[in-house]
Amino acid sequence: MPQTELLAMVHQKLIKCGFKMSITRRELMAVLGTLAATSNLYADQSPQQQSRKLLEGLACNMESWWTDLDFMQRFERAAEAGFSSIEFWEHNKNNRNMNAVATLAKKLDLNIVQFTGWGGPSLADTNHHHDFIETMKHVTEIAHQLNAPMFTVVGHQTLKTISQADSLANLSLALETAAPILEDAKK
């Protein structure tokens, strides 16, 4: 299958799954040039394998794509679109069931590359450090359960009541305190 047909197939598959894409002429020319240069690399693969190969290295964000669908249905759409990797934000949003997420991702052969382990409140305020440390103990277990190599910590929100220097010092303190937990968990 020529690469231009493959690109059209991937694009149609993304559109069918509800993804809206815009691309500039310059970006399109760069993509077509790359496709022309690599046109025979995947000739022996099925269209589904080719689609998945083209999306390799890209993670579909479950919070941003197909937001009209239930969270778990988005995983199915990502797999249908040809993604092999996904990410999501809050693991505890709306009582999300991480056992169900892990099971579905495995069934669909989707790698969970990351999720948000701590989205706030701000670690600039030391009053949140105890909860942060306890959460880190819990999310390292979730990361293992999901087979996710990493998770994100968002704790740098600025507070009007704490100076920038103190905010950074407090954030550093929280991260330094959590470091042994993360190192032990290999995260």
Q: What is the pLDDT of residue 57?
A: 79
> Where is the domain boundary, 11, 28, 54?
54
Do residues 6 and 66 share a domain?
A: no
In sequence order, which ranges of the chain are alpha helices (DSSP H)? 3-16, 25-37, 47-54, 71-81, 98-107, 129-146, 164-184
pLDDT tens across 15-55, in order? 666 655 566 666 666 666 666 666 665 566 566 666 667 77
Do residues 89 and 179 share a domain?
A: yes
Query: Which residues does 54 contact at the CB level (< 8 Å), separation at least 6?
Result: 6, 7, 10, 82
Do residues 50 and 107 share a domain?
A: no
Q: Is the dihedral of CA 121, 126, 132, 134 positive or negative?
A: negative
Do residues 22 and 64 share a domain?
A: no
Query: Which residues does 169 contact at the CB level (< 8 Å), separation at least 6?
Result: none
pLDDT tens across 51-81, in order? 667 777 789 999 999 999 999 999 999 998 8
Do residues 79 and 102 share a domain?
A: yes
DSSP 64-104: TSSTTS-HHHHHHHHHHHT-SEEEEEETTGGG--HHHHHHH
Counting the structural domains of the chain, the total is 2
Instruction: Evaluate if residue 90 carries a pLDDT over 70.
Output: yes
Do residues 22 and 41 share a domain?
A: yes
Do residues 63 and 37 share a domain?
A: no
Predicted TM-score (pTM) of the model is 0.71
Instruction: Evaluate if residue 11 carries a pLDDT over 70.
Output: no
- pLDDT confidence bin for 7, thresholds 50/70/90: low
Mean pLDDT, range 10-19, rounded to an integer: 62
Do residues 66 and 50 share a domain?
A: no
Tell me the residue range of the domain where 105 lies. 57-184
Do residues 71 and 162 share a domain?
A: yes
Q: What is the CATH number of the domain that holds 122?
A: 3.20.20.150
Do residues 131 and 49 share a domain?
A: no
Do residues 29 and 47 share a domain?
A: yes
> Where is the domain boundary, 12, 28, 54?
54
- pLDDT confidence bin for 148, thresholds 50/70/90: very high
Do residues 157 and 108 share a domain?
A: yes
